[in-house]
């Protein structure tokens, strides 16, 4: 600003008024100052503006994932694409941070709030009695949830995981499968709990035996859980994986152990991706518009930022797409 003031032959106060659209300078002088600012490549300093109470024009997103996991997990990339589309339409940026645990995530929120780095945050994978919600409330940091249920305490978007889970069990039960295993994500998350309950209820109704084991969404863990399940005395005839990466890893393990898919084992991925479509055989999946899900949650956050918080809204539900990885038991 001092450089612009020297070139224009005016005070820094006049430059400040012109750049910030405030009265106090003539229209001609404002145009001249803005022209010089463009010539010298002037950009407002975000942290400095934040100290004066200006909006950061950014939304924060913290993911409990390693950078390596993010490169192979299609769900997160599609979710970020949907969030970014909504942000771009509003002229906002995205502050993305990868963390190892919930306590580190809470520390990021505290730092962002203290430094006024973001105007609000999107919280992914809501937990039962989520410890992050009291943190953002205490900070006064606007937030919206990506996932959860219609009864959540914050605005956001949720999916009907129970509905497509029941459809999936009906599909496998109709093929004669009497022993199904589910390789889920980590316990304690709302969507994991909802899927567990829906699958147990649907299997019990059809007299199907169900085994649930926990994974961490990585290929290595999906492979390990698959070996554990297939080496049992009464192994499952179908395995349902919570994401595409674990399902593709499970397909590889089945081949190592001499089990043809689907003749010896049926496999389902609860997310779709190019991986699921190009492997042999292509995997039966649950399809949903993940980018639209992220965009919807972001729109909910903007409503809260505009002073019009809304209750959680339902995103489009997943739907079963049958391919060649499921067959008769």
DSSP states of 37-53 as a string? HHHHT----HHHHHHTT
pLDDT at res. 151: 86
> At 284, is the secondary structure helix, strand, or coil?
strand
pLDDT at res. 54: 52
pLDDT at res. 44: 61
Which strand (E) or helix (H) includes residue 289?
A: none
pLDDT at res. 11: 85
Q: What is the pLDDT of residues 151-165, one digit of tens each?
A: 888 999 999 999 999
pLDDT at res. 137: 93
pLDDT at res. 84: 95
pLDDT at res. 55: 61
pTM exceeds cut of 0.85:
no
Q: What is the pLDDT of residues 14-64, one digit of tens each?
A: 888 788 777 777 888 988 998 998 888 776 655 555 545 556 689 999 998
Query: Across 83-194, where does the E strand assignment appear?
Result: 93-98, 120-124, 143-146, 156-158, 179-184
Q: Write out residues in the chain with pLDDT < 50, as ranges.
A: 51
């Amino acid at each position: 600003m001092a450089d612009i003031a020297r070139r224009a032959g005016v005070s820094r106060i006049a430059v400040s008024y012109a750049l910030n659209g405030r009265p106090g300078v003539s229209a001609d002088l404002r145009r001249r100052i803005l022209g010089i600012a463009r010539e010298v490549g002037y950009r407002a300093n975000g942290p400095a503006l934040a100290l004066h109470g200006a909006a950061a024009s950014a939304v924060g997103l913290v993911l409990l994932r390693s950078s390596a996991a993010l490169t192979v997990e299609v769900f997160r990339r599609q979710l970020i694409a949907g969030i970014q589309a909504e942000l771009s339409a509003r002229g906002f940026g995205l502050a993305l941070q990868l963390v190892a645990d919930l306590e580190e995530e809470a520390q990021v929120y505290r730092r962002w709030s203290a430094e006024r780095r973001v105007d609000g945050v999107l919280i992914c994978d809501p937990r039962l009695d989520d410890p992050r919600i009291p943190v953002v409330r205490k900070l006064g940091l606007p937030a919206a949830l990506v996932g959860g249920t219609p009864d959540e305490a914050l605005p956001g978007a949720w999916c009907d995981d129970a509905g497509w889970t029941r459809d999936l069990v009906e599909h496998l039960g109709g093929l004669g499968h009497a022993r199904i295993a589910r390789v889920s994500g980590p316990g304690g998350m709302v969507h994991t709990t909802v899927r567990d309950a829906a699958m147990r209820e649907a299997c019990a109704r059809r007299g199907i035996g169900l085994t649930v084991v926990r994974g961490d969404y990585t290929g290595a863990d999906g492979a390990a859980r698959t070996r554990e399940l297939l080496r049992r005395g009464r192994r499952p005839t179908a395995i349902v994986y919570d994401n595409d990466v674990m399902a593709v890893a499970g397909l590889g393990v089945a081949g190592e152990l001499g089990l043809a898919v689907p003749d010896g084992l049926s496999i389902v991925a609860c997310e779709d991706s190019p991986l699921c479509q190009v492997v042999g055989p292509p995997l039966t999946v649950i399809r949903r518009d993940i980018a639209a899900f992220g965009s919807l949650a972001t729109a909910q956050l903007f409503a809260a930022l505009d002073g019009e918080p809304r209750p959680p809204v339902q995103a489009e539900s997943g739907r079963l797409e049958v391919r060649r990885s499921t067959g008769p038991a």
